Structure 1
Amino acid sequence: MKYVMLAYGTQADWDQGVDYQREHPEEEFGPAQAFAQELIESGEFVYAGGLADPSHTQTVELREGVPVVTDGPYLEAKEFLVSFGIVDVAGHDRAVEIAALMSQAFGRVELRPLDDDGGAAG
C-alpha cells in the first residue's frame, strides 16, 4: 500500500531546517537522511520532497469563473506544509511506524493512504 506523509512545521522549524541544510549540504534529506536511507534500502521509499520557502506560496481559486491568486500562506496559520514523502509498505501498521520515525525529524506528520491503492487503511 502506498501512503503519503505530510510534514508540517512553524516558521521557527523552517528557519532551523534551512540552517541545518546550510551546515550539512551533503545530506539530501536533511535531518531525516539516515531514516530516508533506511527506507531506500528496504525498498519502501517512493519519493520525498521539501517545499520552497512558504513566502513563495500562492493560493488559486475560481470565483465566478475567474481565477483569483492570493500570495503567501494564510497569516493566521501557525503551521504550514513543509515537506512530503510517499512510501510503499506492506500495511497500515508499517506506515504508522514510518510516520512516527518521520515525526522525530519533522514534528507533526499527517498520514494518508493514496487512493490508487483503494484508499483503505487496513
Structure 2
Amino acid sequence: MKFVLLVHSTPQPWGHPTGDFVAEHQALPAEQRRQMETDFEALLTEMQERGEFVTAEALGDPASSRLFRWADGEPIATDGPYAETKEQFAGYFLIDVVDRDRAEELGRRFAGPGETIELRPLMWPGGEEQNVG
C-alpha cells in the first residue's frame, strides 16, 4: 500500500532539514535535538531495510514557485506562494507499507516540533485508493 507523507512547515529562512530552521525545534535543548536527529536517521534506515522507503524530495522556498491557473479560457501564470498560510508544503516521502496502521505509525514518528505531517494514500488511475482491497 502506497502512501505519501507530506511535510508542512514554514522554516525561516527556508531550508532543509526543516527542523533546523523552525523556532519550535530550535527552542529544544541541544541534546534533545541531537537525539531526535539520531532517531530520525534510524527510522529512515529501518524503512530502507524493510523496503518501505520509495523516494523523498525537499521543496524549495514557496516564494520561488510559479502558479498556473485557468482564466478566460487559457492558463495564466502568477508568482507563488499558492496561498497565505501558516505552513507551506516543504517536501514529501513516498512509502510502500503493509497496511494503513504501519503508515500511521510512520506518520507519528515523522511528526516534529513546528511541522505538520499529512498522511495520504495514493490512488490508481481510475480514482480508487490503492489501499482499498
TM range (shorter): 0.7 to 0.9
Local SS of the residue matching 2:110? helix
> For 1:50 and 1:112, how far apart are their aligned partners in 2?
17
SS at match of 1:76: coil
> Larger Rg: 1 or 2?
2
The RMSD of aligned alpha carbons is 2.8
Shift of the 82–10 alpha-carbon distance from structure 1 to 2, 3 Å rule, reads same
TM-score normalised to the size of structure 1? 0.76
Moved over 2 A (4+): 11-21, 31-35, 104-107
Partner of 2:7: 7
- Are 2:83 and 1:72 equivalent residues in the alignment? no
Q: 1:58 aligns with which of 58, 61, 66?
A: 66
Distance 1:3 1:16 in 2: 22
Q: 1:115 to 1:58 in 2, by over 3 A?
A: same
Displacement of 1:70 in angstroms is 1.4
Structure 2 unaligned regions, length at least 5: 22-36
Structure 2 residue matching 1:116: 3-state secondary structure: coil
8 A contact 1:6–1:110 mirrored in 2: yes
Deviation at 1:13, TM superposition (A): 7.7
Aligned residues with identical type, % of pairs:
35
State the one-letter code of the partner of 2:47. Answer: L
- Count how many residue pairs are aligned between Structure 1 and Structure 2: 113
- Aligned pairs for 1:1-122 (under 5 A) are 1-12=1-12, 14-15=14-15, 17=17, 20=20, 31=37, 32-74=40-82, 76-104=84-112, 107-116=115-124, 118-119=128-129, 120=131
Answer 1 or 2: which has greater helix percent: 1
**How far apart are the structure 2 equivalents of 1:121 and 1:105?**
32
TM-score between both structures, scaled by the size of structure 2: 0.71
Query: Gaps spanning 5+ residues in structure 1: where?
Result: 22-30
